[in-house]
Chains A and B, each alone.
Chain A
Amino acid sequence: MKKIKWSILSLAVIFSITAAFATKPHWDCSFLPQYYYNGSGYLPVAQQYGCMQGAITCTYYTQNGGISYFPCTTGVYNGCPGCVATPATNAAH
């Protein structure tokens, strides 16, 4: 039983360590200045920003002075994490 126990546990430890290293991002783009797309252009992100749940690109980075931007993080950009969106005012009033 001891042999079975140690084989199962060592396999789990080896597999988890290998998996963690294998899925480690090779290059972290988030160290570079981040930009978000506001629909018409790329703007620098707020000092404190969040990427909410979503499958789209949250922030981008550039390596050629803004000629081209590449996706970095995923989610929906929020320049004010924790802020509650103000309700839309009715323009008809």
Chain B
Amino acid sequence: MFKRQVLLECISALLILLFVYASLSKFLDFHTFYREMDNQPLPNSWTPVLVWVIPCTEIAISVSLIFERTRLLGLYGALVVMGLFTIYTGIILMHFFPYVPCSCGGVIKRLTWTQHLILNLFFVAISIVAVIFQTRKRFNQIFITKKTKNSFV
């Protein structure tokens, strides 16, 4: 139980590390991030929205991962976001788009798309593990609370 809890904290910390770093890097070099988003094989009309939605979502997930009450929501958010990034990376690698854009975001941009895919798959995997552990923990907490209440009746 203790080991699981420590593992859950470590996974949350890793996800926070990734999301805070990625979002801050985007804000600190916003001009480059905007240009790189324009360069992605997505409609350019989406860029003004995406440049705010992506880093703000990452920060929101990081904050929700810190607090116990919102952690499960944050873990689901992380899983969805990392899942979407993984699908996008997969599509790029399958040459579904007419060209392969640069990969972006702080030192992460030095990675190739294959390395990106491996990194994303790793984070998807640890997010799944954390969701399972956190759901079990929640379930146990509810079950134990109910049991204790019933024993008083």
Contact B14 A53 (CB under 8 A): no
- Report how far A81 CA is from B9 CA in the complex, Å: 42
What 1/0 mask marks residues of chain B from 1 to 35 whose CB sits below 8 Å from any chain A CB?
Answer: 01001100110111011101100110011011001
Interface of A is mostly: mixed
Q: What B residues does A51 contact at CB under 8 A?
A: 39, 102
The 9 closest A-B CB pairs, nearest first, are: A20-B24, A12-B13, A16-B20, A16-B21, A50-B39, A53-B100, A24-B28, A84-B98, A12-B17
Interface of B is mostly: helix
Size class of the contact patch on chain B: 35 or more
Q: Which of B105-113, B117-125, B127-135, B140-148 contacts A (4 or more CB under 8 A)?
A: B105-113
A91 at the interface (CB under 8 A from B): no
Interface residues of B in 50-70 (CB under 8 A from A): 62, 66
Size class of the contact patch on chain A: 20 to 34
Q: What A residues does B99 contact at CB under 8 A?
A: 50, 52, 78, 81-82
Q: What B residues does A81 contact at CB under 8 A?
A: 38-39, 41, 99, 101
A17 at the interface (CB under 8 A from B): yes
Contact B107 A23 (CB under 8 A): yes
Contact B21 A19 (CB under 8 A): yes
- Report how far A12 CA is from B112 CA in the complex, Å: 25
Given contacts A19-B21, A24-B25, contact A13 B16 (CB under 8 A): yes
